[in-house]
Structure 1
């Protein structure tokens, strides 16, 4: 049975007018006259048997039914645009689009991309590090790397690797906390917090049964990367995320302010769009990324060293 759909031209008029709340602005965007937009929407309302706009002297506004319908029409146009963008065209190819948190992108993904490019030089990769939620397939991403306790229903989630939390700071700052007996007095430290992290100092203190440390004071940053850099600069003690900080610990830029580590409750996951199994380049990227993650979790320093060596060669 064929779908009952209104004319596409009328839907375009409605979507633009609803978005702008103006027939005039919609007409300018679509390069038609305001009268054409108005007549098209009147025809749409008659075809649907529903009033979509309230027309008043002070301006135009959507009815409740119109506002609800606009959300569906807008998403439909977004899906059509995303699907059109994915079509293979002569002489062109589309980059693999990946959404990833800034710290993981700079400290883990970026050092590995030269290795991927050396194997697949004709496949381009776009990395987006904004904190916004990704909607598949509307936002046009092929993959997202997310930190979560459990997979979210409705998408293909594959575990990459977990984390362990350990207090870290610069060598000089650690020396300033050592008492006469050679013990680090963490209670005297300035704690560095990550305001966006789901697990911070309170979680570490509770799980290690550490007492005498005030968990709320100190410095606050909105990214793990900034907090880690602040610790390297000697501003205080941050909660390092191993294995992401293993390279800094091995290089001596950071040292452990406490030997106590706890497993984080969150895990890094690779989230794949529904179409990821339909394109050979996406399958190659997914398999490569999972292999890199497995090697990193089993041997973080060895994997990082190999990645750094590949990057230095090119």
Structure 2
């Protein structure tokens, strides 16, 4: 039955019920009282219930009409509130991003203002955690993952981010005349900082530099790259991590790469999005911006 209900008839009934007057309802809706009466009669025929008692020139709600009016008034109030929320909204789209903590903290967050400047109508919501999310089940538009690719649902598009370069990093104050870092062998005189979740470890680094002997059983260990980087900035030792994640620290001089910026390459991050969402403007714009930023960083 609800498919045949006229919104005009419901609107006329709501106004007439509120004023308990066809004349006042007509004034509010800029129609004639007879038009209100006609719409109410039409609605009564459609629902099969009398909504008003006609008493001389007055109208009084029936019990059924009063209950119906309460429901209709609440529905109109919700419509009014929803409309005001849309009109008052500063941004038209919400982009929900899930990301690993280190990439979010070290790379993405410092750049989000650039994206927002390009897309002022998109409200970005960033959630960071180690565990990957199920884009089919959770309310995220994009998942930026770290590590070996895991099997994704059939409807997921997985795009690899550009490779990273992994090199030793330390605070400039860590290098002294007594404890230099003039050669890789000098690492033996310094505390090593281990990022245990990093795909490239000090063991991998030693395989590339077989002449260097290090005791990799010693040193500080952290389960997040951003913690290892922070420890290196504080002068606690030498960390092995991604140049991508330490751009600000290198630019500000808080960290240096004592043996240069050439090192092991690893393709660690992937951009994950549902194929059903990939053509949404907010997804397209963020994907294009993200890969453009990464390309600029790789070229610099």
Query: Is the CA contact (8 Å cut-off) linking 1:166 and 1:261 kept in structure 2?
Result: yes
Partner of 2:232: 231
Structure 1: stretches of 5+ with no match in the other structure? 1-88, 300-314
Aligned counterpart, 1:205: 206
> How far apart in 2 are the matches of 1:278 and 1:230?
41
1: CA distance, partners of 2:183 / 2:293: 38
Q: Is the 8 A contact 2:166 2:200 kept in 1?
A: no
Aligned equivalent of 2:101: 102
Secondary structure of the corresponding residue to residue 215 of structure 1: coil
The Cα shift of 1:219 comes to 0.5
2:237 corresponds to 1:268: no
- SS of the residue aligned with 1:245? helix
Partner Cα distance (1:151, 1:298) in 2: 29
Does the 8 Å contact 1:207/1:262 carry over to 2? Answer: no
Which residues in structure 2 correspond to 1:94-243 (within 5 Å)? 94-149=93-148, 152=151, 154=154, 155-175=156-176, 176-178=178-180, 183=183, 185-243=186-244
- For the Cα contact (< 8 Å) 1:169–1:232, is it kept in 2? yes
The answer to whether the 8 A contact 1:161-1:293 is kept is yes
Q: Secondary structure at the match of 1:285?
A: helix
TM-score norm. by structure 2 comes to 0.63
| SS of the residue 2:248 aligns to | helix
Structure 1 runs (4+) deviating above 6 angstroms are none
CA distance in 2, matches of 1:297, 1:98: 23
Q: How far did 1:134 drift?
A: 0.8
Paired with 2:211 and 2:99, the residues of 1 have a C-alpha distance of 33
Kept in 2, the 8 Å contact 1:177–1:186? The answer is no
Q: Secondary structure of the equivalent of 2:137?
A: coil
Aligned residues: 209
Measured on the aligned residues, the alpha-carbon RMSD in Å equals 2.3
Cα drift, residue 268 of structure 1:
2.0
Tell me the residue number matched to 1:61. none
Q: CA separation in 2, counterparts of 1:262 and 1:255?
A: 14
